[in-house]
Structure 1
Amino acid sequence: MSDWTTSFTSGWSIYIVVLVLINVVGCAWLLWSNAKRRPGDPGPNETSHVWDGDLTEYNKPMPKWWINLFWLTILFSVGYLIYYPGFGAFAGVSKWTSAGEMKREQAAENKKLEVTFAPYAGKAIDKLAMDPKAVVIGKGIFNNTCSTCHGSAGKGAIGYPNLTDDIWHWGGAPDEVLSSIQQGRQGVMAPWGTVLEGMGGDNAVAYVIAYLRTLSQPQADLRNDYMASQGKKLFDGVCVSCHGLDGKGNTQLGAPSLADAYWLYGDSNEALQKTIRDGRHGVMPAHKELLGDTRTRLVGAYVWSLSQKRGAETGKPDTSVQ
């Protein structure tokens, strides 16, 4: 933390302390100074303020019990500021924080949920996917946690994978899908624009894109496509280390297949240019600590069921690891 930040924090704390003291001491002084009669004050029935002949303004002090309640309120506020945070940077003798309170309540609720989740503990996600009740529970957890990025139907968006197809950049086996959910993933595509242009000139990235588009077209003939043939040379010199000679990727690295016509960040020339030139950094957060082992398994079961439906419709293998 910088000296400026430390000074600002200390100054802000002092400012809060001063405000609190002014309020507490000011209330006590106001109460004390007005709780007794001063010499020269008119008597309770001597204000001489009379209206309509019989309406008289009196100057009677508040009753003792009312005054004592105010004093008790002030004492309570002092005790509160000693026990709880609120007096500047002083954390209070209880060390209470809203974050800590939330964690305690969350832990208590999680214990209650363990009873519901106990039948599903430790089971493989493909086995859970066969249980309709487990899938329904997993869908509810998915909607509350995962739909923000992947959409309520799991079809993803630009930069967020579609979970209903049979394409898995990190592997589509049950344990690999579960690992992606529980441990998270870091997908990094390095920026290659400068390197490629140093090897193949200003059009190098365009050449590579032309070649990439042929990978999903087995009938393509590079002999009649100058740009694609030039792109293959560049691809073989730079890209094969991650994506392989055939461009089908490497699930150990999270390197996607370039031969399936699926582009996570879009298939336009502009999107592909940006991906190759500037690189990409995709992050799938780890959810095991947030949801626990059983709930992540239930989410995995729901996700697995989505891809299996797609596999049944297309007739493709259920555990594709393209």
Structure 2
Amino acid sequence: APEGETTGHVWDETLAEYNNPMPRWWLWMFYISMIFSLVYLVLYPGLGSFRGVLNWTHQNAYAREMQAADAKFGPLFAKYAAKPIPELAKDPAALRVGERLFVNYCASCHGSDAGGAIGFPSLRDHDWLYGGTPEAITASILDGRSGVMPAWKDALGGEQGVKEVAAYVTSLSGRDADVTLVSAGQQRFATYCAACHGADGKGNQALGAPNLTDNIWLYGGSMGAIRKTISEGRNGHMPSHRNFLGEDKAHLLATYIYSLSQEKR
């Protein structure tokens, strides 16, 4: 049928098919797309387990990018790694690099300002669970940390025991609490808590047991939050970054974190 007229096919009495061919350019684009698709499926993975003649994978591409980045920036990181952290913390250029590493790898948990959040410690103060020395910070980054506090509700005899210990714990940081509860809680604290937190409640960095006398609380310092911690326990985990970052980058990152806690000294 001539272009613009019907082909003679009619459906449902009035529905006719017009002879309106697709534009030539559209047809050529379609043919080119088909050829491109076939070439792509030969070169790259896309057909079942066939990997393509180029043997391309995301892992290989990432590995090549990392190798190129290491070749470019590796000497810079190695130069910084040769300096002690206290000395490096006075180098503005090194701190800028460390800050960029922190934003990329640490800010999602500890915050862009390193101020922390519930369950994620602030890195700006002087309260350290595992120590704030350059060596301790580096060890935390490279090897990670796992902090576990067991649930004590049953061992303390139920809710009343939890209330008593919570009252005593709050009193350690100078807050007002019921004297009767504090007295009973002190005895329970000496029996169940002092082994980790110390008889004076100042913690033990070798165990990651926090200081309870400074009014800095990882999971919240309200009476309800403290009772919940005692009653149900807490589990904190920081993953190891040794294989991910490497020692040179971890050295710069530790330098930046160390510098944050030195700002107010």
TM-score range, shorter chain: 0.7 to 0.9
TM-score (norm 2): 0.81
Report the CA distance between 1:97 and its aligned residue: 1.9
**Number of the residue aligned with 1:239:** 193
Residues 213-252 of structure 1, C-alpha deviations (whole Å, 9 max, x = no match) = 222339x9x9x92211111221122112211222221111
**Number of the residue aligned with 1:129:** 89
SS at 1:194 equivalent: coil
Report the CA distance between 1:307 and its aligned residue: 0.7
**Number of the residue aligned with 1:85:** 45
5 Å-filtered alignment, 1:26-45, equals none
5 Å-filtered alignment, 1:1-322, equals 70=31, 74=35, 77-78=37-38, 80-92=40-52, 94-197=54-157, 201-217=158-174, 225-310=179-264, 312=265
* Partner Cα distance (2:259, 2:82) in 1: 18
* Partner Cα distance (2:160, 2:201) in 1: 21
Q: Considering only CA atoms, is the larger Rg found in Structure 1 or Structure 2?
A: 1
Report the CA distance between 1:89 and its aligned residue: 3.9
* Partner Cα distance (2:74, 2:224) in 1: 49
* Partner Cα distance (1:163, 1:190) in 2: 25
Q: Tell me: CA distance 1:72–1:210, structure 2 relative to 1, closer, same or farther (3 Å).
A: closer
Q: Tell me: CA distance 1:227–1:82, structure 2 relative to 1, closer, same or farther (3 Å).
A: same
Report the CA distance between 1:107 and its aligned residue: 2.3
* Partner Cα distance (1:50, 1:141) in 2: 65
* Partner Cα distance (1:262, 1:50) in 2: 81
Report the CA distance between 1:121 and its aligned residue: 2.1
In structure 1, give the amino acid aligned to 2:159.
D
SS at 2:116 equivalent: coil
Structure 1, 144-153 or 300-309: larger mean CA deviation: 144-153
SS at 2:87 equivalent: helix
Q: Tell me: CA distance 1:227–1:89, structure 2 relative to 1, closer, same or farther (3 Å).
A: same
Report the CA distance between 1:161 and its aligned residue: 0.9
Is the contact between residue 125 and residue 178 of structure 1 (CA under 8 Å) also seen in structure 2? no
Q: Tell me: CA distance 1:94–1:242, structure 2 relative to 1, closer, same or farther (3 Å).
A: farther
Residues 90-137 of structure 1, C-alpha deviations (whole Å, 9 max, x = no match) = 444554322331232122112211133232024332221122221122
TM-score (norm 1): 0.67
* Partner Cα distance (1:48, 1:152) in 2: 69
In structure 1, give the amino acid aligned to 2:233.
G
Is the contact between residue 150 and residue 156 of structure 1 (CA under 8 Å) also seen in structure 2? yes
Residues 23-60 of structure 1, C-alpha deviations (whole Å, 9 max, x = no match) = xxxxxxxxxxxxxxxxxxxxxxxx66699xxxxx9x9x
SS at 1:203 equivalent: helix
Number of aligned residues: 245
* Partner Cα distance (1:202, 1:271) in 2: 14
Is the contact between residue 153 and residue 231 of structure 2 (CA under 8 Å) also seen in structure 1? yes
Q: Tell me: CA distance 1:81–1:229, structure 2 relative to 1, closer, same or farther (3 Å).
A: same
* Partner Cα distance (2:2, 2:102) in 1: 75
* Partner Cα distance (1:134, 1:50) in 2: 73
In structure 1, give the amino acid aligned to 2:140.
S
* Partner Cα distance (2:85, 2:33) in 1: 60
* Partner Cα distance (2:172, 2:33) in 1: 80
Gaps of 5+ in 2: 6-18
* Partner Cα distance (1:149, 1:215) in 2: 29
* Partner Cα distance (2:38, 2:214) in 1: 68
* Partner Cα distance (1:71, 1:290) in 2: 43
Report the CA distance between 1:165 and its aligned residue: 0.9
SS at 1:96 equivalent: coil
* Partner Cα distance (2:183, 2:4) in 1: 107
* Partner Cα distance (1:185, 1:274) in 2: 22
The alignment yields a C-alpha RMSD, in angstroms, of: 3.0
- Higher share in helix: 1
* Partner Cα distance (1:97, 1:104) in 2: 11
Identity of aligned residues (%): 43
